[in-house]
Amino acid sequence: MQHSGRLVLVLAIVASTAACKAKPKETPATALPPGATAVASPTADIRTEPQPTTTSSGSLDLKTAPLSFAPIAKKADPSVVTIYTVGDDHGGGGGPFTRRRQGKVAKGLGTGFIVQKDGVVITNNHVVEGADEIIVQLSDERRFPGKIAGRDPRTDIAVVKIENAPKELPSIQLGDSDKLDVGDWVVAIGNPFGLSHTVSAGIVSGKGRGLQDVPLDPAGYYNFIQTDASINPGNSGGPLLNLRGEVVAMNTAIRGGGAQGIGFAIPINMVKQLMPTLLTEGHITRSALGIRIRDVRELEDGDKKKLGIGDEKGAVIESLEANGPADKARLEPGDVIIAFDGQQIDRSTRLQWLASTAGVGKTVTIRVMRTGKPFDIKVTLGELKEPKKSPFRPKLPQPPQDDDDDEGTSPFGGR
């Protein structure tokens, strides 16, 4: 997929170019908008994301690997499930391992992990999207029907509920992805190419990977964790664990083009934030500022000078939705957003995430730099329209072929 060199993230759906304010002026207005409050320092009372700590001698506090990852795998493996999906067979299509029974075709398989003892499973949306039937296989090979409890195409997160689940299923502990550092050891468990419960280990190779690193959807929410733990088709939806056996991310994508050792996982904190809403409402209703933005760090020095931007981190407004929340607050193209409700904005994707999850109708405080002058302004968020289908379209492996294609009541046997 080809993308332009500039990163433009959309925080609100704009109906047409005519509905949007004109392209950014070379210099924004110098006057503060009505209701704005000037602040003495751009960084006053702003919370930053946690950074790796160092010892008193200035050297990093190194974390050693265990002699074996086996205890981590054994503890987590009972909570890891295989997810099979089934759809209508309209004739044709499918690969050499496609299995058909009673008008149904096995579409593919993925991985998931049990997060509640009553049978709540987390997986990728692209694993279960479009499935007419879901079959969840436990680590002891028992199979149960599954039902989608909620899904979010934007983040590729889905919640599946195991129907008629046994009591007290083994649930896995969720960790804190914000505490991960580049270089930390991690362990992946999944079903690559149908090889069930495969364990691989590696390190966190990078954090905060976005659109330019994982070009799946130009309007997605990106904060992927990169790992060199072996991830392949079939690992989708499986857990990425820290050395305490806690899930710190969900394996989701791999880099194409013959790349090796480059996998991407969704931070578990993102999953934890959305999971309660997906369980109760089945979907995510997102809020929006109604602006188009790009990272300040992507601007040329000449453009920064024209806009009065120095060394600030943040997101520069390129255009505004006409009569949208930011437009009503009298923000202007060229304004730089450096904080959202007291949280520092160091990249565009962080602003996109915070603005979309704050809540429709909520009034938030935005800190803005305009020609070098910082100020706070209150903005009441609107609603963001969502796509009907997932932007993620990776190929899923198909279940292994069976000689008894005409027997059994399930497309996967289960007699």
Q: What is the pLDDT of residue 310?
A: 77
- Residues 178-202 have a mean pLDDT of 93
More confident residue, 164 or 88: 164
Query: Which H or E run includes 313?
Result: none
CATH class of 78-162: mainly beta
CA distances from 200 to 124, 205, 228, 239, 243 (A): 19, 15, 9, 11, 13
Pairing of strands 185-190, 157-162: unpaired
* Catalytic position from the list 126, 177, 287, 356: 126
pLDDT tens per residue, range 126-158: 999 989 999 999 999 999 999 999 999 888 999
Q: State the pTM of this model.
A: 0.77
- Residues 188-193 have a mean pLDDT of 93
Q: What is the DSSP letter of 403?
A: S
Q: What is the pLDDT of residue 27?
A: 47
* Confidence tier at 30 by pLDDT (50, 70, 90): low
Question: Nearest to residue 364, comparing CAs of 295, 312, 288?
Answer: 288
Q: What topology is assigned to 9-30+286-384 in CATH?
A: Pdz3 Domain (2.30.42)
Q: What is the DSSP letter of 172?
A: P
DSSP string covering 181-235: -TT-EEEEEE-GGG-TTEEEEEEEEEEEE-TTTS-S-TT----EEEE-S---TT-
Q: What is the pLDDT of residue 56?
A: 39
Separation between Cα atoms, residue 263 and residue 357, nearest integer Å: 26
Q: What is the pLDDT of residue 407?
A: 36
Q: What is the pLDDT of residue 219?
A: 54
Average pLDDT, the chain: 80
More confident residue, 220 or 94: 220
Same CATH topology for 9-30+286-384 and 172-275? no
* Catalytic position from the list 177, 200, 230, 236: 236
Q: What is the pLDDT of residue 145?
A: 97
* Confidence tier at 4 by pLDDT (50, 70, 90): very low
* Catalytic position from the list 79, 89, 152, 156: 156
Q: Which residues of 18-35 are buried (b: 16+ CB within 10 A; e: fewer)?
A: eebbeebeeebeeebbee
Output the CATH code of domain 172-275. 2.40.10.10
Q: pLDDT above 90 covers what percent of the chain?
A: 52
The domain segmentation of the chain, as residue ranges, is 9-30+286-384, 78-162, 172-275
Q: What is the pLDDT of residue 53?
A: 45
Contact 340, 359 (CB under 8 A): no
**Radius of gyration in angstroms for the set of CA atoms belonging to the chain, rounded to a whole number:** 23
Alpha helices in 147-210 (DSSP H): none
Separation between Cα atoms, residue 226 and residue 210, nearest integer Å: 10
Whether 236 is catalytic is yes
CB-CB neighbours of 113 under 10 Å = 22
- Residues 104-115 have a mean pLDDT of 83
Residue 341 token pair: 């409700």
Q: What is the pLDDT of residue 272?
A: 97
Residue 8 scores a pLDDT above 60: no
